[in-house]
Structure 1
Amino acid sequence: MKVFSKEQIYEGDRLTTERQNISSTDLMERAGTQIFNWMHLRMQGAQVPIHVFCGIGNNGGDGLVLSRQLIIHGYNVKTYIVNYSETRSKDFLINYDRIKNTTKDWPTVLTSSNDFPLINQDDIIVDAVFGIGLNRPPADWVKDLFLKFRASKSFTLSIDIPSGLYTDKVVNDTEAVVYANYTLSFQSPKLVFFLPNTAKYTVQWEVLDIGIDRDYLIQTEAAVELISKYEVLPFYQPRDKFSHKGHFGHVLMIGGSFGKIGAVHLASRSALIAGAGMVTAYLPTCGYTSLQSALPEVMVVCDKGEKQIESITYDFDATVVGIGVGIGTSEETMKAFEAFLKTNKRPLVIDADAINLLAQNKALLKYLPVQTVLTPHPKELERLIGEWHDDFDKLNKVVEFSKAHKVIIVIKGAHTITINGNKKYVNTTGNPGMATAGSGDVLTGIISGLIAQGYEPLAATLFGVYLHGKSGDIAVESYGYQSLIAGHIIDSLGEAYIDLFKQPEESSESAENDENN
């Protein structure tokens, strides 16, 4: 699913009115009616008090359309105009006249904190104050209104975006934003729904189709895409009846140090279960017995170093190399890593301490093959690109880094974001139970295993991140958030593959994910 920018949304609206020969007021009517249909389907005429707070721009116009439809259908609704400016949009004024012609109970105009109505906890608030065009903080009394929303503990539904929230930057005052229980976003979700600094402003979201021109939606390239099952399913490569292990590549997993051999175990095992034909683990001598005993399917090559990797030499041709899990950052390991990069010609997946080694010696970045995949956790990312002020600053820095070095970077998180040049891909699977030691090692193995099978690095990364999160979602149903461990993610990987081909009613996706995606 494409995630359009504010500018692209405006252009989509303009082209829709032009190509469908309708007015902007008609498009607003369509949008407001879709919100009404969503509410009407769920409320079925229930007489719960509904408070619709409308701004004086187009978002407020959408709210007025909704209020008028609610009134026509007999709901217990009260409409308010949040009069924060003397300027009104044309379509707002048209719908303001229409609602006055619909009911004798005209909207109440709010101009200060003294005008606020009583809102009970069992009431419903509809937030239609500000839309995506907001470019400055709300007035103090409007902020007080938003605080009243929160204090009431009423269910709050935001139209398109929680009021006070920007589409392209982080707010400075976290109290000057509506905290929505649900947001109905027109045609496309907003990037801010997925970022740690801004996702807290809506618990759930859903996209409403308001009939934006189909050609525009299909042909317009978005800088951000949302990745779910239906985006990764085309990546899947079925297996031929007469295929053998040689067709599915050979992963070389380099890593480990004394006390951290388990990281190589997890990455190697997940590479195999992701589908690699063969996996060889390259590790210090101290890890030979434990890994060979625990994973008989994996071949083992030992470094000359007893407790750490001190040189990287092998006499076979790997399809892809995963490097860094548990490897450490000693001086000897740094020398071995540098020598390896200077001679390596194979695709790379770089994780953990190998990223820290790159951060210590950024001159080594020039030796990375094009489309190398880096999978840092937040602190490793900070060492690599420097500190950031907020999520948007972080994304901008990662984009510049990706472009400069022609690499793919995975920003791990609740919504893992993969960046390839200017393009951002937001993952939709995963859960808090995956915040556990070794989860990142599993992801390194999955991506490596997919590249070994012939997936292009970007496809392997997007597919791998999705499968990793989906495996965690499946596993958490059995183990819960607190008890989920990295091995459970690996154990559920096969079921994640199977789930790709289940029909929606068979899928193990949660109701929340179904609604959000």
Structure 2
Amino acid sequence: MQKLFYDTRTLDSACRQKYSLSEEVMMENAAAALKTEIFAVASEKNCRKVLVLCGSGNNGADGYALARQISGCFEVKVFECSPPSSPLCVLQAQRAENCGIALCALEDFFLEKTDSSSIVVDCIFGSGFKGGFTGSGGEQLMGLLAFVNSGEAFRLACDVPTGLHADGTLAQIVFKADLTVTMGAQKYCLYSDMAKNFTGRVKVGELGVSRPLFENSMKGGDGCEPSTLEKDIFLLDLEDMVLPYRRDNLVNKGSFGNAYIACGEKSGASLIAANACLRFGAGLVTLIRPDRSFAESPVPSLSMEFLTASNFGPRVSALCVGMGLGYDEKNTAFYGDYLLNFPEVRCVLDADILYSPAVVEILERRPKGCVLTPHPKEFSELLRLCGLGNYSVDECIFRRPELVEKFCRRFPEAVLVAKGANSAIGVFTAQEGFRLYINSFGSPALAKGGSGDALAGMICALLAQNYEPNSAAVTACLAHSLAACKVKNNFALTPADLIQNIGDL
């Protein structure tokens, strides 16, 4: 996994001081990182023209330096979105002009012929963008970005696409990059739900020292550890997925746990969860329904692969409850009472149970071992039930890290999976404090009924196989996302396809 930072400017400063690097040297390395990616894109797509959009600050200076470094290899033009103002931007613009690079006015870009053989580089604001586009200059920039976004040229952003705020929210318009080269270290804003349409692929450009040295430049400098300046937020990598491979031959079905899946009003949801649970390695899967027997009221499509029960047996490895459960408080109390009486049984709390006051008592008395998997609307209701505030669905998306932390600090050791385009997994422990993990592998293919039920079943499977709750959430979320990516057409994924694809990971 990779560390995410809200703001790397403190690290920039510390890096210069600790490693005796000048700001100019770091700028030349930033330009070189952009140059490397431009050559790679040009080779793949046969691009011959590079058009650089430069702002007035140091992000613009990166653009002028880039133009100089690639001059002679491409047809290069710089479009000045505002006159150079920072000392380095003025210097780099002069150097570019000395090299014979055409420095054009912003409005000239609309006359430029751009097609698939062109690369447009956004060096307007980068991570320094604040507020929105205002005044006549702002309107002109908005028109420029709309024009660029609608064209066929390959779009590359330097550090952060223009229009994307440091908290991951958006201005009126955002440069829609195919590739973002972010400088020094990964930034949280690139992995908010809102940013997902605008960043494209993200690569980290080094600034004169290796990335580990850059990220740790505060250590030993002024005595501050990075964790005191930045929250512990991490971007998940594929290597963080630890699949439940069976390495021991001397085993039986009991070695991999008995996962119980609550079967409620909408039995299809629990069947999806049960199938995913079995597919992801649980040794036994038992569907439980306390209000009526399965013999007297059969569940359509109930597979012979599952056990059924009207009460809990003596060996329950994990319980998954909420999918299609309904809002009958008597049924909900049945599962709540069991979890309160057997706090050692790990559980997944999903969907309908997150609207019940019973979930609050469970969290108050036994948060350890609980994994909660709300989508934004459920998260909004969960926060309200827990007395943590009234937040709209949009706020639960836009302010996700803050609200996940608020919840996790209130219920230490409970694991919260806040589902979204880039799902966030949060947990607070006395040993490590608050940690947030971002899964950027989510696919629009998963925007379909039943996808969340499958995820709940997959987490339950890993809990039954003795994974720690946080590890179960991380691995299941990654596997869930990757299984979705295996469908050829992203509109065609069904829960059955998703579950089938688990076996191909």
TM-score normalised by the shorter chain: which range applies?
Answer: 0.7 to 0.9
Alignment of 1:343-358 (within 5 A): 343-345=341-343, 346-358=345-357
Shift of 1:144: 1.5
8 Å CA contact 2:287, 2:306 repeated in 1: yes
1:489 alignment partner in structure 2: 498
Query: In structure 2, which of residues 122, 125, 132 is the aligned counterpart of residue 127 of structure 1?
Result: 122
2:323 alignment partner in structure 1: 325
More displaced stretch, 404-413 vs 59-68? 404-413
Q: Which amino acid aligns with 2:451?
A: S
Shift of 1:446: 0.7
Distance 1:315 1:181 in 2: 53
8 Å CA contact 1:256, 1:287 repeated in 2: no
2:249 maps to 1:245: no
Shift of 1:432: 2.1
8 Å CA contact 2:2, 2:237 repeated in 1: no
Over 3 Å counting, the alpha-carbon distance change for 1:109 and 1:264 in structure 2 is closer
Shift of 1:149: 3.5
CA-to-aligned-CA distance 1:432-468 (integer Å, 9 cap, x gap): 2222222211111110110111110000000011111
More displaced stretch, 329-338 vs 51-60? 329-338
Query: In structure 2, which of residues 111, 122, 143 is the aligned counterpart of residue 118 of structure 1?
Result: 111
Q: Which amino acid aligns with 1:415?
A: N
1:507 alignment partner in structure 2: none
Query: In structure 1, which of residues 136, 141, 148 is the aligned counterpart of residue 144 of structure 2?
Result: 148
Aligned length: 469
Alignment of 1:69-80 (within 5 A): 69-71=69-71, 73-80=72-79
8 Å CA contact 1:402, 1:420 repeated in 2: yes
8 Å CA contact 2:133, 2:172 repeated in 1: no
Query: In structure 2, which of residues 94, 103, 106 is the aligned counterpart of residue 107 of structure 1?
Result: 103
Over 3 Å counting, the alpha-carbon distance change for 1:463 and 1:47 in structure 2 is closer
Distance 2:502 2:120 in 1: 42
Identity of aligned residues (%): 25
Q: Which amino acid aligns with 1:277?
A: G
2:446 alignment partner in structure 1: 434
Shift of 1:47: 7.1
Query: In structure 2, which of residues 422, 425, 434 is the aligned counterpart of residue 418 of structure 1?
Result: 425
Distance 2:161 2:375 in 1: 29
Alignment of 1:21-36 (within 5 A): 21-36=20-35
8 Å CA contact 1:58, 1:92 repeated in 2: yes
2:333 maps to 1:335: yes
Q: Which amino acid aligns with 1:229?
A: L
Which runs of 5 or more residues in structure 2 are unaligned? 220-225, 384-389, 429-433
Over 3 Å counting, the alpha-carbon distance change for 1:454 and 1:364 in structure 2 is closer
Over 3 Å counting, the alpha-carbon distance change for 1:396 and 1:287 in structure 2 is farther
Distance 1:285 1:340 in 2: 18
Q: Which amino acid aligns with 2:490?
A: Y
Distance 1:231 1:204 in 2: 19
1:513 alignment partner in structure 2: none
Distance 1:5 1:293 in 2: 48
3-state SS in 2 of match to 1:443: helix
8 Å CA contact 1:276, 1:452 repeated in 2: yes
1:409 alignment partner in structure 2: 416
8 Å CA contact 1:17, 1:24 repeated in 2: yes
Distance 2:416 2:436 in 1: 10
Over 3 Å counting, the alpha-carbon distance change for 1:430 and 1:6 in structure 2 is closer
Shift of 1:58: 1.6
Over 3 Å counting, the alpha-carbon distance change for 1:199 and 1:174 in structure 2 is farther
Distance 2:4 2:492 in 1: 38
2:386 alignment partner in structure 1: none
8 Å CA contact 1:399, 1:419 repeated in 2: yes
1:310 alignment partner in structure 2: none
8 Å CA contact 1:192, 1:199 repeated in 2: no
More displaced stretch, 411-420 vs 10-19? 10-19
2:402 alignment partner in structure 1: 396
More displaced stretch, 430-439 vs 157-166? 430-439
Shift of 1:399: 1.6
Query: In structure 2, which of residues 314, 317, 327 is the aligned counterpart of residue 316 of structure 1?
Result: 314
3-state SS in 1 of match to 2:436: strand
Query: In structure 1, which of residues 171, 193, 197 is the aligned counterpart of residue 194 of structure 2?
Result: 197
Distance 2:192 2:124 in 1: 22
8 Å CA contact 1:349, 1:448 repeated in 2: yes
8 Å CA contact 1:64, 1:95 repeated in 2: yes
CA-to-aligned-CA distance 1:120-170 (integer Å, 9 cap, x gap): 332432210102122333443144223223225332321111112211152
3-state SS in 2 of match to 1:332: helix
CA-to-aligned-CA distance 1:395-447 (integer Å, 9 cap, x gap): 32222012101221112222222122332212133422222222211111110
1:40 alignment partner in structure 2: 39
2:476 alignment partner in structure 1: 464
8 Å CA contact 2:351, 2:373 repeated in 1: yes
CA-to-aligned-CA distance 1:314-350 (integer Å, 9 cap, x gap): 2413121111122111132243244334323111111
1:309 alignment partner in structure 2: none
3-state SS in 1 of match to 2:234: strand
8 Å CA contact 2:241, 2:479 repeated in 1: no
8 Å CA contact 1:46, 1:75 repeated in 2: no
8 Å CA contact 1:6, 1:132 repeated in 2: no
Q: Which amino acid aligns with 2:494?
A: I
Distance 1:178 1:293 in 2: 48
3-state SS in 2 of match to 1:68: helix
Q: Which amino acid aligns with 1:428?
A: S
Distance 2:235 2:123 in 1: 25
Distance 1:136 1:433 in 2: 33
Q: What TM-score, normalized to structure 2? A: 0.84
1:53 alignment partner in structure 2: 53
CA-to-aligned-CA distance 1:209-244 (integer Å, 9 cap, x gap): 4444524537855632222311224x7565212122
Distance 1:119 1:145 in 2: 16
Shift of 1:354: 1.3
Over 3 Å counting, the alpha-carbon distance change for 1:190 and 1:119 in structure 2 is farther
CA-to-aligned-CA distance 1:457-480 (integer Å, 9 cap, x gap): 000000011111112222x12xx3
1:501 alignment partner in structure 2: none
What is the root-mean-square deviation of aligned Cα atoms in Å? 2.8
8 Å CA contact 2:52, 2:123 repeated in 1: yes
Over 3 Å counting, the alpha-carbon distance change for 1:200 and 1:469 in structure 2 is closer
Q: What TM-score, normalized to structure 1? A: 0.82
8 Å CA contact 2:349, 2:371 repeated in 1: yes
Distance 1:119 1:447 in 2: 52
3-state SS in 1 of match to 2:356: helix
CA-to-aligned-CA distance 1:93-113 (integer Å, 9 cap, x gap): 33233223322x463466xx6
3-state SS in 1 of match to 2:416: strand
Distance 1:77 1:246 in 2: 66
Over 3 Å counting, the alpha-carbon distance change for 1:136 and 1:429 in structure 2 is closer
Distance 1:47 1:318 in 2: 60
Q: Which amino acid aligns with 1:249?
A: G
